Structure 1
Amino acid sequence: MRNLIVFGALCCLLGMAILIGMRRDVLPSGEPAGDSTSRIPHIGRIQVLNGCGITGAAGAVSDFLRDRSFDVKNIGNADTWNYPFTMIVSRTADMTIARRVSEALSTDKLILLRDGGDVYDVTVILGPDFDGRIEE
């Protein structure tokens, strides 16, 4: 009889644990399902370089691109701050990602420049016209 009582108690505990675990998987009402994964950047490997010398330019453009699901991997300064306009440099022969970046930034300044050791699909070099390209 004692074994039967212990078995019944264990079954009740197991049932309660299963119910509690199932309730944790249910989202509270008002929270949209799947919203958190839609913000994960997944388009290309993008490098953004400040080529105009304006403080915060690369960060602002990186945020703009990330909001559009581009995966910005690196932000930095270009070799000079004398770039006359924003340009998109494709580092791979397939220019699909570079075209998508150029569309997002509304520029037709798109070139292919490969050296074989690139870790990025696209490099964005910002000129002084960058600000007008990221307005909402």
Structure 2
Amino acid sequence: GSSEFVKFVQEFLALPVHHYLQVYYQGLVELEDLWGEVAVSDLPGKLPELIPEGKKSLGGFELYRYFLTSGYQETALEHLERQRQVLLAIWSKVGDRHAWGRPRLFKALSPYLETDLSWRELQALQEQFKDYSFSDVQVIHLPGAEEVIHNRLYWGVSYQDINQLGCLLRGEGPAVTEVRVEILNGSGVAGQAASLAEMLTREGLQVVRTGNADHFSYLTTEVIALGEVVEPARIVSSYIEGSVIMHQPDPQAEVDVRVVIGQDYLQAGTGN
């Protein structure tokens, strides 16, 4: 329930939870008459296998099916982002309603929402954020990976990485000694991976392994964050002049950061 989830967030992320809002998705079917159908052009992804042929808008069960069903070859995180975008489209339609119609709307929504906010507070928030673009909000998922339990797909949280996420949300950077690094030689110059590994180890980082990249034609040195947060890559990049930070989340990765040495490494002065 909501109370247990709030407790989980406060304990594992060491963050206070001021308010919460839980949405029961059955309302997408029951409340179609309140906000009408959502235009297909406003739906994210527009997955053809989930949109009936010839339909220009979805509502009721069709919208619920589009919202709840995973698309072909769609990952769990991609599906979650699509669900967020559908809710944003509905939020936009709710915001377009005249003020006199909102009390009726909130009353109809009450069976499908659980929150510690009063309806007056919800209405004030709706008015406050009616012109805000939530598409600009940075979304950070709990680190983990997909797991199948009793033939159902779940998101298994990686408790090992929870502390790192909590540090980010609290504005604290991870300790240097906690950052695990893989170094790959993408320049073709022998010994560069070992040399960089030695330098980063002296600085206190954990260099887990070194090796060769998939080719030796990398022009720029890439520092790639493989987790849900980018901060570990920023730490590593600060030791490699001219390196480029990238973010490629990989739930299966055994390290936090992958460094691919490019041909600019010596020119930058860090390869001496």
Give the TM-score taking structure 2 as reference length: 0.34
Is 1:54 matched with 2:152? no
SS across alignment from 1:134: coil
Question: Structure 1 residue aligned with 2:251, among 116, 126, 129?
Answer: 116
Tell me the distance in 1 between the aligned counterparts of 2:231 and 2:197. 19
Return the structure number with greater relative CO, CA threshold 8 A, min gap 6: 1
* Aligned-CA RMSD value: 1.7
> 1:35-70 CA distances to partner (integer Å, 9 max, x unpaired)?
xxxxxx824110000001100010011111111111
Is there any run of 5+ residues in structure 1 with no aligned partner, and where? 1-40
Deviation at 1:115, TM superposition (A): 2.5
Q: Is the 8 A contact 1:64 1:134 kept in 2?
A: no
Which residue matches 1:88?
Answer: 223
User: Which ranges of 4 or more aligned residues in structure 1 deviate by more than 4 Å?
Assistant: none
Equivalence map 1:12-51=2 (5 Å): 42-51=177-186
Question: Structure 2 residue aligned with 1:77, among 195, 209, 212?
Answer: 212
Deviation at 1:104, TM superposition (A): 1.0
Same amino acid, percent of matched pairs: 26
Equivalence map 1:98-113=2 (5 Å): 98-113=233-248
SS across alignment from 2:179: strand
Deviation at 1:108, TM superposition (A): 4.8
What letter matches 1:134 in structure 2?
Answer: T
Which residue matches 1:134?
Answer: 270
What letter matches 1:127 in structure 2?
Answer: G
Deviation at 1:135, TM superposition (A): 5.8
Deviation at 1:118, TM superposition (A): 0.4
